[in-house]
Every structure is written in C-alpha cells, then in structure tokens.
Amino acid sequence: MITKWAVQWLTWRLRKDDGFWISYQANIAGAFQDEYHRAMEKMKSGIEPFDIHTVSNNAAINFMKLWTK
C-alpha cells in the first residue's frame, strides 16, 4: 500500500510542479546522453556495434541508479 501511495504522490507532484517535472526530465535526458556518448566511443573504437535498444536500456539503468543513490 505504501508503494501505491508513493507512486500516486510522485505522479501528482509531476503533474502539479513544473520544476519537479523539469528536474526529472533533465535527469532522464542526462542519463540517456551519457550512455549514448559511451556507446559511440565503444562503436568508434570497434569494441561493439551501436544498438539503440541497448543504449536505451543502459540509460534507464543509469537513471534508476542515480535516483536511488
């Protein structure tokens, strides 16, 4: 029940508070950008091919790690 309340509260805050929305948006975008740059460096050095799905999943993991620090 606490988890459900927490998600509802977070959703409500995101809808009502533009600054809260922007901060989450910036963190998500930053996590994606960081992972994109790492993937491009690996691709340029021939370590592995670029795969947008892998980049997206790794960015989501990075965001969740930042959020839960």
Q: How far is CA 11 from CA 17, 20, 41, in A?
A: 10, 10, 36
Give the pLDDT band of residue 69 (cuts 50, 70, 90).
Answer: confident
Host domain of residue 15: 2-67
Let me know how long the chain is: 69
Overall average pLDDT of the 35-41 stretch: 91
Give the pLDDT band of residue 52 (cuts 50, 70, 90).
Answer: confident
When divided into structural domains, the chain yields a total of 1
If you search the block for the tokens 């508070």, which residue do you land on?
Answer: 17
pLDDT given at position 67: 78
Between CA 37 and CA 58 the distance in angstroms is 12
- b/e string for 39-57 if b means 16 or more Cβ within 10 A? beeeeeeeeeeeeeeebee
Give the pLDDT band of residue 49 (cuts 50, 70, 90).
Answer: confident
